[in-house]
Amino acid sequence: MTETGLKGFWTKRESRVFLTVLIAGFITHGFRLANKFLCLDSYNYLETISLSWTVSLGRYLLHYVEDFRGPRELTWLIGCLSIFYIALAAVLITKLFDLKSRVSQLLCGVLLVCNPVVTGTFAYMYTADGYFLGLFFSVLAAYCVIRIRGVKGQILGGLSMIVFLALYQAYISVTILLLMIWLLLMLLKGETKLSDLCKEAGRYMVMGIAAAAVYLAGVPIFRSYYAVGDDAVKLIGGTSTEGAVNHSLLEGLKESWVEFARYFLVRWQLNFYNISNVLLFVLLGVLILIACKKGGLFKKPVRLLLIPVWILLLPPVTHVFSFVSARNIYQSSPASFSLSLFYILPLILMEQPGLKAEITEWKAVKKHPLAFANLLLLVLISLHFVVIANRAYESMAMANERTENFLNRLQTRIEMTEGYEEGMPLAVIGNVYQLPEYVPSAPMMSGVVSNIFLQSQADYVHALNWHLSTSYTEYPTERHKKLVRREEFADMEPWPSEMSVRRIGKTMVVYLSDNNMEELLQE
């Protein structure tokens, strides 16, 4: 590409944002893309997306991503695809809110790809590309219904919504929050009629209800087609009540607020992450107040009262599954991407009429203290996100190293045990699972640990077979109660004692701990 061509490429908003996300993504997550770290789910699925599990969860399109990139955890390929999908989502968001400033465009892309939710999702690399493909469609749903007027926009947005729900349902909070931000911008414009605001919100609700109905109708169809039950989820269209809400609406609201605060104020420590998030919300408050003044909302009490209502809705919207399920399956870090949108909200607000969009340009920013403070804070937050990511990846590396070292010790002990035969059943009693050590200055990232993370018998069997090329089969767990009552087990001792491994009958028994011994000894 010639210099003129490259310059022309950079002058276009879409290509500029796309390229920025790719560069920032590779810089931030390059270590993860270049290294293979397995997590607990990777062992359970043996490096492939479990069709039965995902279809049971209602994610009936997720396993189809393997038809495109293959059934193995090819870290570099999956990571590149994920960053590519995030880049597409970033382009749509800058177009949706018409960010004209290059500074805002670049920061928007960087914040969307560098934030801790992306880092946490990369702990589950085997399915990350499917998740971020769902993220793209969640943004596309909001873009279509907002920017394409009439029924056509609702249909296209609804189709996009069906796709992302069938990939990862928790991204519904991304779509809702983007729609809420758009409604806020309409509200801040004093000339917008409340009736028009209500009509716009009504369009979104019609799209959402229709798309959700079609999606839910597809859940039992795909379960039947693949002969999969609802045992894994007991939530989306399932018949079991185990996953149903077991708390009141008030408790759900409280839970959503607690989880909201927990993301932005980690363990209530005095660190840069917490301080910068407090400053972020102070900045957002100032920008909203300025916008209210510019839009004349202080002279319109009804419209002004809608602002605190909008704010109060933020935690429930970003934690919508607190009102659907008693399980925390949708409270993990990949489900929190909507929270990362708060970091780009100052950029969106700064470019609204009355706040002088031109002040976010480099040559003018130093003349406006609020714009300078805004951009400085977001630049520092972006840099800190890069640090958080690589500390997390170091933690992943440590977890894998400790787990592999333990597996080598365990297999050596098994092979030295009298009566050992290759491929025999393996019974694992207890575990050596250790409490995870999360990155101290970041939101809790499920899967990002620096300790041994194997828990169940299946985890140990899969891990040994995968890492050390053994061929063990699982001893039926329902027979563990009889096993621990046998005379040969009586004098066994927990790991790492030399008496922790023994052949009993035709089974190799590993006694790791007495974690669940009381339950096994019950009649």
pLDDT in tens, 429-458: 999 998 888 888 888 887 788 899 898 999
Q: What is the pLDDT of residue 358?
A: 45
The angle, 0 to 180 degrees and rounded to 10, between the axes of the packed helices 125-147 and 194-225 is 140
- Residue identified by tokens 């100052």 is 346
pLDDT in tens, 452-477: 989 899 999 999 998 899 999 999 98
Which run of H or of E encompasses 380? helix 369-416
Report how far residue 259's alpha carbon sits from residue 242's, in angstroms, rounded to the nearest whole number.
22
**pLDDT score of 94 more than 90:** yes
User: In terms of pLDDT, which residue wins out, 169 or 10?
Assistant: 169
Average the pLDDT over 395-424 and give the result: 94
Backbone φ and ψ of 425, nearest 5°: -60, 145
pLDDT in tens, 37-92: 888 888 777 668 888 888 888 899 999 999 899 888 889 999 999 999 999 999 99
Arithmetic mean of pLDDT over the chain: 87
Q: What is the DSSP string of 3-59?
A: HHHHHHHHHSHHHHHHHHHHHHHHHHHHHHHTS----HHHHHHTTS--HHHHHHTT-
The torsion angle over the Cα atoms of residues 472, 473, 479 and 482, rounded to 10 degrees, is -30
Q: What is the pLDDT of residue 4?
A: 57
Tokens in use for 2? Answer: 């010639």
User: In terms of pLDDT, which residue wins out, 519 or 390?
Assistant: 390
Please, which residues have CB within 8 angstroms of residue 304's CB and are 6 or more apart in sequence? 292, 297, 298
Contacts within 8 Å (CB) and 24+ apart, 299-306: 300/190, 302/194, 303/187, 303/190, 303/194, 306/187
**pLDDT score of 239 more than 50:** no
Q: What is the pLDDT of residue 237?
A: 40
Three-state DSSP state, 428: strand
pLDDT in tens, 315-352: 999 988 877 765 545 567 888 999 999 999 999 998 87
Q: What is the pLDDT of residue 301?
A: 84
pLDDT band at 1 (very low <50, low <70, confident <90, very high): very low
Q: What is the pLDDT of residue 437?
A: 84
Q: What is the pLDDT of residue 255?
A: 85
Q: Where are the domains of the chain?
A: 3-385, 394-521
pLDDT in tens, 483-499: 999 999 999 999 999 99
Nearest to 165, CA basis, from 200, 140, 147, 202: 140
Average the pLDDT over 295-305 and give the result: 85
Average the pLDDT over 165-177 and give the result: 94
Q: What is the pLDDT of residue 364?
A: 57
pLDDT in tens, 247-282: 677 888 888 898 899 899 988 888 999 999 999 999
**pLDDT score of 519 more than 90:** no
Report how far residue 102's alpha carbon sits from residue 243's, in angstroms, rounded to the nearest whole number.
46
Backbone φ and ψ of 474, nearest 5°: -85, 135
Report how far residue 505's alpha carbon sits from residue 16's, in angstroms, rounded to the nearest whole number.
66
Neighbours of 439 (CB within 10 A): 25
Nearest to 399, CA basis, from 26, 36, 34, 29: 36
Q: What is the pLDDT of residue 117?
A: 95
Neighbours of 516 (CB within 10 A): 13
Q: What is the pLDDT of residue 32?
A: 96
pLDDT band at 108 (very low <50, low <70, confident <90, very high): very high
Is the separation of the CB atoms in 69 and 129 below 8 Å?
A: yes
Tokens in use for 334? Answer: 């990949």
Average the pLDDT over 19-25 and give the result: 97
Nearest to 420, CA basis, from 486, 500, 512, 506: 506
Running DSSP on this structure, what letter comes out for residue 475? P
Running DSSP on this structure, what letter comes out for residue 211? H
Running DSSP on this structure, what letter comes out for residue 240? -
Give Cα 325 distance to the centre of its chain. Answer: 17
Number of helices (H), then strands (E), in the chain? 22, 4
Three-state DSSP state, 232: coil
